[in-house]
Amino acid sequence: MFERSGPGWQVSARSHMSMLIALYLRDLAGIRRASPALCDSPQTPMLSPLSPPVKPRAADEFSRAEFAELCQEWHQWWRRIVTRYDADGSPDETETPEPGLLGQPHFNAYRSSPSLQRLLRAHYGAATDWSHERRREYNALSREHAAAGRRQVLESLVEERSLESDPQDVLTLNMIELPLAERRAWLVGDRTVILSQELVRDERLLRSYLEPMIRLIR
């Protein structure tokens, strides 16, 4: 986890447990690989595949109609996760799965999304095991980034932008770093950017993605 602040600005970078679980289930069910005609949500940026890759083992567990329903339910769920974090930006929220996923073997909090609920019942254990392993890897990588000073460019970018803003405003950039195969970034909210946790290794590429995004955050 990374947090810095200065006069008129603050920036943070961390992982997010619920997002890891959701993306694991996305790739496990083959949602990302589905044709746009069957599974498309123009409101949801389609992030790149996970790394290491997750085989779509659950793709054959649903009929065509059920899969279309699952796609819609998954995209709605993903938007809720992202929107809630963008609004609150709470570090505590990133550490554990959302409450509906905890201590509920039947996942009744998702009964209005029956196909998603079915996927959770069948594969939640594997999803959490995978996500915990990725969190351990991320923590080690985050320490490596800090030791190498790779995130200093983030402070510079936000500080530069804050000088152009109203002095009464606090420019806030919340970054979620995830194990995504493509080294790129996605602006997903008013102040939230999701990016590959490996993108920070390439300062030039990181800057090329973040500079225009920072001009759009509120």
Tens-place pLDDT, residues 148-186: 999 888 888 888 888 777 767 788 999 999 999 999 999
- Read off the pLDDT band of 35 (50, 70, 90): low
> Residue 91: its pLDDT value, please?
79
> Residue 129: its pLDDT value, please?
96
Which pLDDT tens digit goes with each residue over 43-77?
Answer: 777 899 999 999 999 989 999 999 999 999 999 99
Q: What is the distance of C-alpha 68 from the center of its chain?
A: 22
> Residue 24: its pLDDT value, please?
98
Q: Give the position of tokens 């290794």.
A: 201
Tell me what the pLDDT averaged over the chain comes to: 91
> Residue 115: its pLDDT value, please?
97
* pLDDT at 211 exceeding the cut of 70: yes
Tally of structural domains, the chain: 2
My answer on whether 177 and 119 are in the same domain is no
My answer on whether 166 and 204 are in the same domain is yes
My answer on whether 151 and 88 are in the same domain is no
> Regarding predicted confidence, which is higher, 42 or 138?
138
pTM of the shown model: 0.94
CA pair distance 188, 95, nearest whole angstrom = 20
Say which amino acid occupies 21: I
My answer on whether 124 and 171 are in the same domain is no
Which pLDDT tens digit goes with each residue over 116-151?
Answer: 999 999 999 999 999 999 999 999 999 999 999 998
Query: What would the mean pLDDT of 82-101 be, rounded to a whole number?
Result: 88
Strands (E), the chain: 2-6, 9-14, 171-178, 185-187, 192-196
- Structural domain harbouring 63: 18-140
Which residues 6+ apart lie within 8 Å of 78 measured at CB? 22, 26, 44
Token pair recorded at residue 5? 């602040």
My answer on whether 43 and 135 are in the same domain is yes
